[in-house]
């Protein structure tokens, strides 16, 4: 049986991945820092006679994550697919820069992805097979006001995965970087402002699963938003800055993300 490790599995995108992949017959190794969401997921999947094992862990704690993943593999078997879905979003503005918020966002969204990969990659290299998936964002395309840390963290994920992809290719290990637009999740519930192309989580995860199954190296959607953001890169910076400011307006992001 294929074993899938999912971080951030207690809610939002991670939880939907767990449900969908369990329905496909995969064993689910679920990690989240919030025990309540994990307990609900475990009860749901066990009620459907799915194979699932859950552990509470913070992805920013690398040594603990190594121990937790080893324990999950003892229960379910070697990890075949890892989806790094844990993420946070907080307002980080250069006009009121709170370093604890910046460190929290980059810690989970970038270092947490690296810790998750470090926990599974040695085993995948030894077995010469595996698939590593990182949930990035279209926010990785450029810096956005009041989302400085979030954009930086997701840009870092893209760069990390680009380099990793080339290194692991000789070991028959695949990587996929997913860059969705706005998705209706508990994280975006704390955003007040325009979210063009906002998608329901089940639809978005369906799109991402299609890309994973096709072993796409990089997938950004919806295409219309991806195209607009790519165009911004070709414009003079002054013009692109004006368009971004106009599009975002008075967007506010809660510290609760």
Count of other CB atoms within 10 angstroms of residue 243: 14
Q: What is the pLDDT of residue 190?
A: 63
Q: Could you read off the pLDDT of 98-155 as tens digits, one per residue? A: 999 999 999 999 999 999 999 999 999 999 999 999 999 999 988 888 889 999 999 9
Kindly state the tokens that stand for 208.
Answer: 């991402």
Locate the DSSP E strands across 52-117: 52-56, 81-84
In angstroms, the first-to-last Cα distance of the chain is 35
Q: Tell me the pLDDT band of 188, cut-offs 50, 70 and 90.
A: low
Alpha-carbon span 156 to 56, nearest angstrom: 25
Whether the pLDDT of residue 253 is over 60: the answer is no
Task: Name the residues annotated as catalytic.
Answer: 150
The reported pTM is: 0.89
Q: Could you read off the pLDDT of 49-66 as tens digits, one per residue? A: 999 999 999 999 999 999
40-44, 62-66, 82-86, 234-238: which range is least confident on average? 234-238
What residues have CB less than 8 Å from 165, skipping those under 6 apart?
Answer: 175, 217
Q: Where are the domains of the chain?
A: 3-253
Q: Which CATH class is domain 3-253?
A: alpha beta
């Amino acid at each position: 049986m294929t074993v899938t490790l999912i971080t951030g599995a207690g809610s939002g995108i991670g939880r939907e991945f767990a449900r969908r992949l369990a329905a496909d017959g995969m064993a689910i190794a679920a990690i989240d820092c919030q025990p309540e969401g994990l307990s609900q997921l475990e009860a749901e999947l066990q009620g459907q006679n799915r194979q699932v094992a859950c552990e509470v862990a913070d992805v920013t704690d690398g040594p603990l994550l190594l121990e937790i993943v080893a324990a999950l593999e003892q229960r379910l078997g070697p990890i075949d697919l890892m989806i790094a879905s844990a993420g946070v979003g907080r307002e980080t503005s250069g006009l009121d820069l709170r370093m604890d918020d910046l460190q929290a966002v980059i810690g989970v969204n970038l270092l947490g992805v690296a810790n998750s990969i470090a926990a599974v990659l040695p085993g995948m290299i030894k077995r010469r097979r595996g698939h590593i998936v990182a949930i990035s964002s279209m926010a990785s395309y450029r810096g956005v006001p009041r989302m400085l840390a979030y954009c930086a963290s997701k840009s870092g994920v893209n760069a990390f995965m680009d380099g990793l992809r080339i290194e692991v290719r000789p070991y028959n290990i695949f990587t996929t970087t997913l860059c969705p637009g706005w998705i209706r999740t508990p994280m975006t519930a704390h955003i007040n402002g325009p979210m063009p192309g906002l998608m329901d989580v089940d639809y978005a995860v369906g799109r991402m699963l299609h890309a994973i199954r096709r072993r796409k190296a990089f997938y950004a959607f919806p295409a219309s938003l991806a195209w607009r953001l790519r165009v911004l890169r070709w414009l003079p910076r002054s013009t692109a800055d004006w368009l971004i400011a106009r599009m975002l307006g008075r967007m506010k992001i809660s510290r609760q993300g």
